[in-house]
Structure formats: C-alpha cells, structure tokens
Amino acid sequence: MLTPHAHLMHVYARQPVSFVRGQGARLWDAQGTEYLDAIAGVAVTNLGHAHPDVAAAIAEQATLLLHTSNMFGIAWQDRLGERLSALAGMERAFFCNSGAEANETALKLAWLHANRKQVAPPQVLVMQNSFHGRTFATLAATGNSAVHRGFEPLMPGFVRVPYNDLYAIRQAAEHVPGIAAVLLEPIQGEGGVHVASPEYLRAVRHLCDEHDWLLMADEIQTGMGRTGTWFCYQQAGILPDVVTLAKGLGNGFPIGACLARGRAAELFSPGTHGSTFGGNPLACRVGCTVIDAIEREGLPDRAAVLGRQLLLGLRKALSGVPGVVAIRGQGLMVGIELDRACGDLVRKALEQERLLITVTRERTIRLLPPLICDEAQIDEIAVRVRRLLQ
C-alpha cells in the first residue's frame, strides 16, 4: 500500500479520516460513518455543507463565465464590493483569494499610509498570540514563534504588544517612532479564543484617531456573522479604517477581501496592487449568494442565540469535570481551555465521538460550528465534548 500523502509536502498533521460528503453540520466518510461538524472547516462553511443556493450559484455561473480579467469590468465584483461596503460601513473593496492575501493588502495600505506621512521606516503595531497568515509579511505580523521558526530574518516593520492591553499601546505610541497602523483580531482565534473587551477596542480606535494610525481589523475568522453580528467590531460600536475577510465569505469557495474607508480607501492607484484570480465572476457571485443566504436566514442573530446556548450548555456539562480552566467565546466561536496539552483530543473526538473539533495553542479546544446548526446539534456538541473530557 502507498504511504498516505507520499506526494504531498509535509505541511499538515492530518487525521486518519477523510470525508466524501456533507450536508449542513453533518459529514460522512467513505464507509458511510456519520460525523458532527463543530469546526466548519475552521470557520469557513458557515452555511453548512452543500448549501443549495451556493451549489446552484456555482453551477449556473460555470455555464456562463468563470474568468475574464481585471482589465475589464466585472459586474459581480461591483455588486459584492457594494454589499460588503454597506454591511461593514466601508467604502471600497479589493478582492483576492485567501486570508493571507487580504492581510497582505491591508499591510500594503499601512506602508502606503506611512510613506505618505513620511514616517519611514513604517511600523505596524501587532499583538502577542495573533495569527494573520503564512506569507512572509503576514507570518512576521503573526505572534507565534512556531510560525516564525526557520523563516528568519523576518520582515521588519512590526512592533508587538500584549493583546487587550491599552497601557502597552499607549507606551508604544510614546516610544516607537513611525507607527502607521494597528492590526488586530477582535477575537483571537488561533491564539486560543481570546476576546478583546469593547472598551479596549474603543480606546484603540481613539488612539488611532489621535495619532493618525490606520485601525485594521482582521475579521477573517470572526467575520460574516460568526460572533453574533456581521462583523465582530460592530459589537464594540467602532469602525476600523481597514477590514480583512476570507474564510466564511465563500462558504468553501476561495475568496478574500480587504475593505477600507476614508483615506485608506484611496491609497492604491492602478499598478500598485492586483491579483489575476481575485474578484473573478464566479468567486464574487458566490460571495453575493453567501451574503443573501446569511441575511435571509438571519444567521448573525442566530449565531448569538446559539452561541449563548453552547456556552451555557458547556458550562453546565463541564462543571466539575477536572482540568477545565476556562470556557469563553462570543457567538459560535468558543474556546475550552484545559490545564494540559490536549492535541490528542482531536483524534479521540473523531474516533470516539464522531465529532470534529480543533485544538489551538496546545491546550484550548476550539469550537466553530456552522451557523445553520439547530438547537439539538448544539446540545449534542456539549454532550459529546463532556464525554470526551470525562
């Protein structure tokens, strides 16, 4: 027998399971075994698997037009730019194919902003435990030494501060010259599900205004309704200058976006940025279809309600279970921190509970169920997690 994945580069630690079909929050392997999906492809398939509207949009657009070029007008791209701008309080969009590319776009805006202000060399304030991607710029922005290892020297231009710590940003404002922007996740996902306080986000917004920095929100994981509003920053009542999206925007079809407003929306000019595939008719039609479905099914509100149910259910189910340090989250983005490394639970959950979970930062179980789950499935997740931890 062939060694599994013999001709794939060793980038992923893969589970010994492979799925052939999905429906809503359920998945099946080739043997017909059914699994409950509590990760949605890491916050991607928010509408569940095989959503009929998304399937129909892909099928129909494939018979019309997949790709032309950004040399030409693309009606679906205009429409998606307009929809996202209205939902996010932004003005213009740039479309790409992944989260890392969306953040690359945001970082290029920060550099342009710095160079316009003539504060060279540019510096972007980033957070400890952040995750922004795997390209050279976004890995340097990421606050995780495991992501950096072997890729030194890192791209310069990033100053790291503790998350949710206003004093640290105030200190940086005083002592670090050349700051042009702050890049942060309103909830750190890969970093272990840490939620920034609304007061902190509002104070950072205020500091950005005071110092003429761009506030750039990485909503790649938190966006598209997952945390209870279309975008997580909306719960703090603030408006960033730049917002990055990907994951849930295409429900599994690859698409990323960088949104901006005000001066940040006017920094690029023809020739300063671009993408061959970015914003093609197929990707943008899928994005529009996903937005329509989220809107019609009321999924941001639904995520808030189900999220409360999940948090309450877990707190009840896990009370008295030894080793549980904290249960936290917002909407359908929930972390269960344990007192020990628990990476082995991912495999155990698959084998014993037929449940898909992830573990971040070694000791935090992260749950990201699809937003279309029903109440019974949310309860079932809590039941299976309890059995797993007992």
Ligand X SMILES: *Cc1c(COP(=O)(O)O)cnc(C)c1O
Q: Which is nearer to ligand X, 22 or 248 (CB)?
A: 248
**Ligand-binding site membership of 266 (annotated):** no
The rounded distance, in Å, linking the Cα atoms of 223 and 247 is 8
Angle between helices 52-64 and 281-296 (to 10 degrees): 160
Give the separation between CA 304 and CA 38, rounded to whole angstroms: 16
CB 189 → ligand X: shortest distance, Å? 5
Among 94, 231, 241, 247, the active-site one is 247
- Of 94, 95, 158, 218, the active-site residue reads 218
> Which CB sits closer to ligand X, 256 or 313?
256
User: Is 134 part of any known ligand binding site?
Assistant: yes
Nearest residue to ligand X by CB is 99
List residues near ligand X by CB under 6 A: 98-100, 103, 131-133, 185, 189-190, 218, 220-221, 246-247
| Nearest-approach distance from CB 44 to ligand X, in angstroms | 9
* Angstrom distance (rounded) from CA 275 to CA 96: 6
Judge whether 219 is annotated as a binding position.
yes
Q: Which is nearer to ligand X, 109 or 382 (CB)?
A: 109
* Nearest approach, Cβ of residue 246 and ligand X (Å): 5
Residue 33's nearest CA partner among 353, 363, 313, 291 is: 353
- 3 appears as a binding residue in the annotation: no
DSSP secondary structure code for residue 120 in this structure: S
Q: What order do you get walking across the sheet with 242-245 strand by strand? A: 92-96, 256-260, 242-245, 214-218, 179-184, 123-127, 158-161
Q: Is 100 annotated as a binding residue?
A: yes
Length in residues, the chain = 390
Residue 276 makes CB contacts below 8 A (sequence gap 6+) with 69, 70
Which is nearest to 176 in space by CA: 136, 131, 142, 211?
211
241 catalytic residue (yes or no):
no
Residue 131 is among the residues annotated as catalytic for this protein: yes
CA distance 203 to 5: 48
CB of 70 to ligand X, least distance (A): 20
| CA 190 – CA 211 distance, rounded (Å) | 29
Cα separation of 83 and 90, whole Å?
10
In the complex with ligand X, the residue whose CB is nearer, 220 or 299, is 220
- Rounded to a whole number of angstroms, the minimum distance from the CB of residue 146 to ligand X is 15
* Element at 349 (helix H, strand E): helix 345-353
CA distance 283 to 281: 6
Catalytic residue among 94, 131, 231, 268: 131
Distance between CA 248 and CA 54 in Å, rounded?
12
Annotation marks residue 316 as catalytic: no
Question: Minimum Å distance from CB 231 to ligand X?
Answer: 13
220 known ligand binder: yes
Of the two residues 45 and 221, which places its CB atom closer to ligand X in the complex?
221
Q: Are 290 and 79 in contact (CB under 8 A)?
A: no
Q: Which is nearer to ligand X, 136 or 316 (CB)?
A: 136
Catalytic center residues: 131, 218, 247
Sequence ranges of the binding site for pyridoxal 5'-phosphate = 99-100, 131, 218-221, 276
Would you list which residues are annotated within the binding site for N(2)-acetyl-L-ornithine? 134, 275
Annotation: binding site: 99-100, 131, 134, 218-221, 275-276
